[in-house]
Amino acid sequence: MSGPDAENAATPDGHGAGETEPAAAQPDGQTDYPEYSHKQVLRILSGLLLAMFVSNVAGTVVANALPTITASLGSTQRQYTWIVTATLLASTASTPIWGKLADLFNKKIMFQTGLAIFVVGSVLSGFSPDTPYLIAFRAIQGIGLGAMMSLTQAILGSVIPPLQRGRYMAYTGATIAVATVVGPLIGGFLVDVSWLGWRWCFWSAVPFALLAGVVLQFQLKMPKDSGRASTKVDWLGSALITLAVCALLIWISFAGHSFDYGSWQTAALLGGTALTTALFIWCETKATNPIIPPWLMRQPTTVLAVVASVAVGIGMFGCSVFLGQYYQVARGYSPTAAGLMMVPMMLGVLLSSVFIGRWVSRVGVWKPFVVAGSAILIVGFGLMATMRFSTPLWLIAVYGLLAGLGVGMTMQNLVLAVQNSVSVHDVGAASAVVTFFRSLGGTIGIQVLGSIFATHVSTLMRERLAALGPDALPITGPGASAESLSMDLSQLPGPVAHAVRTSYGDSVWELFLIAAIVALISLVAVILMKGTHLRAKFDTSRSADSRPGKPKAQPTSD
C-alpha cells in the first residue's frame, strides 16, 4: 500500500498509526483528542462492555419472568404488553437525544448520567407495588438503556481512530450476542428460585451497573470539547422526535387488536406521527444544535446504512423473539431450554463480530465485509424460511448460525462506516442515528411480523381444530385468536395440543421469508454504499459537511 492510503496501514504490532502519532492538522487547529494505548483502550472497554452487557440483559431478562410478574401483580393482558412496550418506547425515543447530548457535552458525564438513571429505574422497578408503577419505572429504566445503547458507540468513536475501531467494536457485538442468550436464562432461574423471585430480575443488574460506573470513572478520560460555538440543547426537537416515535410505536403495538385499523385511534396516532415528524424536520433546519443534523441525513453513506440497519434490526430482535416462541410452543421446550437452543445463532454473531472486526482493522476497509454479511444474512433467513414443525433441530441450528454470522458482520460495521464519514465532534449523533433506526426498524419489524404470524396461526388453528370434530369447535369460536390460543398446552387434550403445536410450527416460515426479502433490500443498499478506507487519525474538523477542502476518505477499489 502506498500513497494516500499508506497512513491507514496498521503497524506490525497490530496498532494503527493513529495510536502513536498525533492527529493530523485540521482546519480548526490543534486537536484536543488524546491518543490511547491498547492497554488503556481495553480498560475503558471493560467498563463500557460491562454496562452494555447489563443493559442488554435487562432488556431480555424479563421475557421468561413476565408471566410470573404479571401473575404476582394481577396485571391485565394490556398491562402485560405495556411492561415491555414502556421500556422499548423510552429507549428508542431517547437514543438520538443522548447521541446529540454526547456531542455537546462530555461523553463520560452523559454516559454516567444514563447509567445512574438506569440504576434508579431498576431499583424502583424491583420495588413496584402494582403494575402501573412497574410500567412507569420501566420507562425510567428505558431512558437509561437508550443512553448506554448510543453512547457506547459514541465513546468508542471518540477514543479510537476509525482504522482500529473495528477490532474493539467487535467486542460490543459479541457482548450483545452473549447478553441476548444469557438474559432469558437468568430470568428463568431467578423466578424459579423461591428465595429470590421476580424482583431480583431488576435488582440483580444494579451492582454490575455501579461497578461499570466506577471502572469508567477511573479509566475513561475524555477531552473537554470546549470549542463548541453553542451548547444550547434542542429541547423542542427532542420533544418532537419523542412524540413521533411514541405515537408510531403505540399504533404498531395496539392496532388490530386493541382498536381497529380504521378507528379514530389509528387516525389520531398516525396523524400525530406525521404532524410531529414534519414539525421535527422543520425544527431541525432552524436549530443551532439539531438532534439529528439535516446534513447527516443527506449523506448517502448514512442514508444507505439506515436502510441496511433495518434488516439487522429484524435479525437481532425478530429472530430471537419468534425463534424462541417456535421452540417453546411448537416444539414444547421450556423457556430455559429454548434459550439454550438460541446459542448457535448468537454464537454466529459472537464469532463474526470478533474475527471480522479484527480483520476489518487489519485490512483497513469495511465494505467487502458488510456486503458479504448481507449476502450471508439472506442465505440464513432464506434457509430458515424452510422451517416447519418437523424440521430437525440440528438443521435449524445450522440455519441460525448462518443468520448470526450475517448479523455480526453487518451490525457494527455499518456504524463504523458512518462514523468514518463524519468528524469526531459529530460521532455521537452519527452513531445514535444508526442505532436509533436499527432499533426502530427492529421494533416495527417485530410488531408487523407478529401481526402476520398471529393471522397465519389463527387460520391454521381454526382449520386443524375444526378437523378434530365438534369437541374442539369451542376453541375456534368468534373470540378465538392467536393470543387466546397461546395457553398452557399441557392442560389440553393430546390431539388439540398437537394441533396447536403444528399450527405454530408450520407458520413461522413466512416470517423468515419476509426477513430474507428485507435482507435483500439491505444487500442492495450496502452495494450502493461508497467504500472507503478507514482513517488512521481523527477528523476534528467542526463542520462535517460544510468546510471547504475537508479531507475525504478515499474510495476503495471494490
Say whether both 215 and 339 belong to one domain. no
Q: Which of 49-58, 83-92, 285-294, 481-490 has the lowest mean pLDDT?
A: 481-490
Say whether both 381 and 519 belong to one domain. yes
**Listed ranges 115-119, 363-367, 550-554; the one with the highest mean pLDDT:** 115-119
pLDDT at residue number 412: 77
Q: State the CATH number of the domain containing residue 330.
A: 1.20.1250.20
SS3 state at 554:
coil
The arithmetic mean of pLDDT across residues 202-228, rounded, is 75
Q: What single string gives the DSSP state of each residue in 308-345?
A: HHHHHHIIIIIHHHHHHHIIIIIS---HHHHHHHTHHH
pLDDT at residue number 64: 65
Are 516 and 401 spatial neighbours (Cβ–Cβ below 8 Å)? no
Q: Is residue 471 situated within a structural domain?
A: no
Q: Which of 160-169, 191-200, 384-393 has the lowest mean pLDDT?
A: 160-169
Ramachandran angles phi, psi of 440, nearest 5°: -65, -45
SS3 state at 532:
strand
pLDDT at residue number 464: 79
pLDDT at residue number 30: 38
Are 348 and 369 spatial neighbours (Cβ–Cβ below 8 Å)? no
pLDDT tens digits, one per residue of 405-436: 888 888 778 877 887 777 766 776 777 777 77
Overall domain count for the chain:
2
pLDDT at residue number 3: 39
pLDDT tens digits, one per residue of 92-142: 778 888 877 877 777 888 888 999 999 999 999 999 998 889 989 998 998
Q: Is residue 340 situated within a structural domain?
A: yes
pLDDT at residue number 544: 42
pLDDT at residue number 44: 80
Q: Is residue 546 situated within a structural domain?
A: no
The last residue of one of the domains, among 173, 204, 220, is 220
Say whether both 212 and 309 belong to one domain. no
**CA–CA dist 210, 549 (Å, integer):** 45
The mean predicted confidence, pLDDT, of the chain is 75
pLDDT tens digits, one per residue of 478-524: 444 434 444 456 666 777 778 888 888 888 888 888 888 888 988 99
Are 89 and 139 spatial neighbours (Cβ–Cβ below 8 Å)? yes
The arithmetic mean of pLDDT across residues 40-55, rounded, is 81
Q: Provide the percentage of residues in the chain whose pLDDT is more than 70.
A: 76
The arithmetic mean of pLDDT across residues 26-40, rounded, is 56
Say whether both 47 and 192 belong to one domain. yes
Q: How far is CA 357 from CA 220, 424, 443, in A?
A: 22, 20, 26
**Residue 466 clears pLDDT 60, i.e. is over it:** yes
Are 143 and 117 spatial neighbours (Cβ–Cβ below 8 Å)? yes
The last residue of one of the domains, among 220, 253, 273, is 220
**Residue 34 clears pLDDT 80, i.e. is over it:** no
- The grid coordinates listed for 112 are 454516567
Say whether both 441 and 324 belong to one domain. yes
**CA–CA dist 557, 68 (Å, integer):** 56
**Residue 164 clears pLDDT 60, i.e. is over it:** yes
Give 490: exposed, middle or buried? Use CB within 10 Å, 0-12, 13-18, 19+: exposed
pLDDT at residue number 21: 35
Say whether both 317 and 192 belong to one domain. no
pLDDT at residue number 376: 93
**CA–CA dist 417, 84 (Å, integer):** 32
The last residue of one of the domains, among 220, 252, 271, is 220
Q: Is residue 16 situated within a structural domain?
A: no
pLDDT at residue number 116: 92
SS3 state at 221:
coil
CA triplet 320, 324, 326: central angle to 5 degrees?
Answer: 125
Are 130 and 70 spatial neighbours (Cβ–Cβ below 8 Å)? no
Are 47 and 212 spatial neighbours (Cβ–Cβ below 8 Å)? yes
**Residue 395 clears pLDDT 70, i.e. is over it:** yes
Q: How many CB atoms lie within 10 A of CB 403?
A: 30
**Residue 23 clears pLDDT 60, i.e. is over it:** no
The arithmetic mean of pLDDT across residues 8-28, rounded, is 37
SS3 state at 259:
strand
Torsion of CA 326, 332, 337, 341, to 10 degrees: -40
Q: Is residue 244 situated within a structural domain?
A: no
Say whether both 169 and 48 belong to one domain. yes
Say whether both 195 and 305 belong to one domain. no
Q: Is residue 481 situated within a structural domain?
A: no
Question: Which uninterrupted H or E stretch holds 95?
Answer: helix 77-104
Q: Is residue 293 situated within a structural domain?
A: no
**Residue 271 clears pLDDT 90, i.e. is over it:** yes
pLDDT at residue number 166: 66
pLDDT at residue number 536: 62
**CA–CA dist 506, 460 (Å, integer):** 9
Say whether both 202 and 331 belong to one domain. no
Say whether both 191 and 330 belong to one domain. no
**Residue 16 clears pLDDT 70, i.e. is over it:** no
Q: Which domain holds residue 324?
A: 299-458+509-529
The arithmetic mean of pLDDT across residues 340-346, rounded, is 81
Name the H helices within 129-263.
131-159, 162-192, 200-203, 205-219, 235-254
The arithmetic mean of pLDDT across residues 264-291, rounded, is 87
Pick the residue with more confidence: 138 or 238? 138
Q: Is residue 276 situated within a structural domain?
A: no
30: left (phi over 0), alpha (psi -120 to 50) or beta: beta
Say whether both 306 and 406 belong to one domain. yes
**Residue 476 clears pLDDT 60, i.e. is over it:** no
Are 170 and 177 spatial neighbours (Cβ–Cβ below 8 Å)? no
